[in-house]
Structure 1
Amino acid sequence: MASVQEMQAFLAIGAAALTTYALRLGGLLLANCLPQHGRFRTFMDALPGTLLVSLVAPNILAAGSWGFLAAACTAALAAKTKNLFLAMLVGMTIVGLARHLFPG
């Protein structure tokens, strides 16, 4: 028999899963109601890139000069080859090697 704490954990996980799927479904249903043209559409198209920058920029700053070098190499390689996976792999390798060779 499951303890009260285990049941609470299962209920919390279930509630989180239901909330996640409800938000996803709500987004899909609301997407049809949003304007498909104009400034709002332009704003919505730019939003994923903006969110990506807001997640990546603090890590680049925290990594210091090696982070800037890795980000520049990643951006240049992505622009040149159009291979985002390879570009990210190169950027992570630069930061990883810098951390390994120059700890501290």
Structure 2
Amino acid sequence: MIDPMFALTILLMAIVTYLTRIGGYLFLRSRTVNERTKALMECAPGCVLITVIAPDFVTGRPADLIALAITILVATRLPVLPTVLIAIASAAILRNILV
């Protein structure tokens, strides 16, 4: 069973990610945007996610550190969505194996 606080956290992260994505377009829709600004807007949701999960990787738990290594390796070879899915799966599997 998923802890209600975890479910709420995931829901709120999804909402914040969506708002950062759509907010930029709503506020800037009538302006001409240069390439640098576009790149910044595309990175914002990932930055929000990283700030939430990064503290878990300094705990020193072997499962999390191995999952981080797997994620970095996959991120250099695959697009974002498969990377996120593999990262979640590897962390879940490793946490169950390396309790």
TM-score (norm 1): 0.47
Structure number with larger C-alpha Rg: 1
- Pick 1 or 2: higher relative contact order, CA cutoff 8 A, min separation 6: 2
